[in-house]
Amino acid sequence: MTTTPQPSRETKPLPRRGLILIIASPSGAGKSTLSRLLLQADDRLTLSVSVTTRLRRPSEVDALHYHFIDKHQFEMLRERGELLEWAQVHGNFYGTPRRPVETALEAGRDYLFDIDVQGTLQVYKAMRSDVASVFILPPSIPELVERLRRRAEDDESTIQKRLASAAAEISHWRDFDYVLVNDDLNRTFADLRTILAAERMKRSRNEPPLELVADPLAAERLKRSRNEPGLEHLVQELLAELGRKKLS
């Protein structure tokens, strides 16, 4: 007796919800450079373009780096609840439109947020389960100052304001899932890609891995490194140096 082969039934993976990768740091620690490199290396990642009321820098392009709007437009978005997060930084307002992010996540698209600590904490409240967050520390305050001056886009007064804000931002380092010290750009970038790959796999258990990780435990080691005495010591040194600058 022969049996008729039954057509195979392929099991379709469950729809994957996208993730939000937040990269935050004090100004000058390297989050914008790392974000740019990550976007160039990964075409499955979409940059969240914030709205801001600050003036456009010469190197910036409207709708690419930010949507530059006036204060009245910003207030209207905020009052209508159309901002996922918003903050006032150095006298200017910044915010993330809510609708594009929610639409992208539902479609399985991953979003990259280049925002500050205030914005990160607000996104946590709105959708913490969708978020993997990374805080970037500078190796030292003199290096941070040098990077701010090297980019030649802020006057000395603005640089001092950014340094004054750095202590409050660094003090939130434990609120982040991962903490990286950007003393070597290539190594920090490699660590960042490892984190993204691991977080994608955690959210993709019903489909093939989206990206291979050379060391499956690398991301978990990076996550646990927040508790290393050396990192705690560096943070205390950074805060002490910023305190001395404030007093001088």
Q: Is 233 exposed, middle or buried (0-12, 13-18, 19+ CB in 10 A)?
A: exposed
Q: In CATH, what number does 20-48+110-247 get?
A: 3.40.50.300
Rounded Cα distance between 31 and 134, Å, is 10
CA distance 62 to 68: 6
- pTM here is 0.81
Distances in Å between the alpha carbon of 190 and those of 5, 97, 182, 198? 48, 29, 11, 12
DSSP 139: S
Q: What does the domain layout of the chain look like in residue ranges?
A: 20-48+110-247
Structure tokens at 41: 């290396």
Residue 88, beta-bridge partner list: 93
Per-residue pLDDT in tens (0 to 9) along the chain, 248 residues: 555 656 555 555 556 899 999 999 998 898 989 999 999 999 999 999 999 999 998 888 998 889 999 999 999 999 999 999 998 877 899 999 999 999 999 999 999 998 888 889 999 999 999 999 999 999 999 898 888 888 767 778 888 888 888 989 999 999 999 999 999 999 999 999 999 998 998 876 444 444 445 565 777 778 777 778 889 999 999 999 998 877 66
